[in-house]
Amino acid sequence: MFPLKSEELFAAAAEHQKFAQAATTAMNSQQQGWEAVFADSLSGPGFDAGRRTLGTLVADYASQAQKSADLAQVLYQTGLAQRDLEKAAEKVRQGAKSLLSAALHHGTILGDKAIDSLPICYQILMFLHGISLILDKTCAHQIGCIAVEHNDPHGVYLGDDLSLTPEQLNAQAFEHIRPEVRPLVDDPHIAGQDDHTGRKKPQAIQVINGKAALIFGDPTQAKTIVTVVQGVTSSNPDTIVTNVANVSDFYEDLNRGKGDVAVVMYDYAAPKGIFSGIHPGYAHKAANDYQSYKKALRAKYPDAQLMDVGHSYGSVLLGTAAQRPGGLETDVLIDAGSPGMNTRSTRNLHLNSSNPEVISSLNDADPARMLHTPDLGVHGPDPTDKLFGATEVWTGTGGHDYLTNPDFRAHMRDKLATYHR
Q: What is the mean pLDDT of each run of 10 residues along the chain (421 residues)?
A: 90 92 82 70 66 68 78 88 89 76 60 66 84 85 64 86 95 95 91 71 96 96 98 94 95 92 97 86 90 95 97 96 91 97 94 96 92 74 94 96 98 95 76
Question: Over the range 54-77, which residues count as b (16 or more CB within 10 Å of their CB) and which as e?
Answer: bbeebbebbbebbbbbbbbbbbbb
Q: Is the dihedral of CA 17, 34, 358, 245 positive or negative?
A: negative
| Residue 297 pLDDT | 97
Domain boundaries, the chain: 6-148, 158-419
Q: Is 3.40.50.1820 the CATH number for 158-419?
A: yes
Give the pLDDT of residue 98: 74
Q: What is the pLDDT of residue 341?
A: 95
Look at residue 123 in the predicted model and tell me its pLDDT: 83
Cα three-residue angle 250-411-270, rounded to 5 degrees: 50
Provide, for the chain, the percentages of residues in helix, strand and coil under a 3-state DSSP scheme, each rounded to the nearest 5: 55, 15, 35
H or E element, residue 307: strand 305-311
User: Rounded distance, CA 91 to CA 89, Å?
Assistant: 5
* Confidence (pTM): 0.69
Q: What's the confidence (pLDDT) of residue 141? A: 67
From the list 258, 237, 231, the residue with the least C-alpha distance to 184 is 237
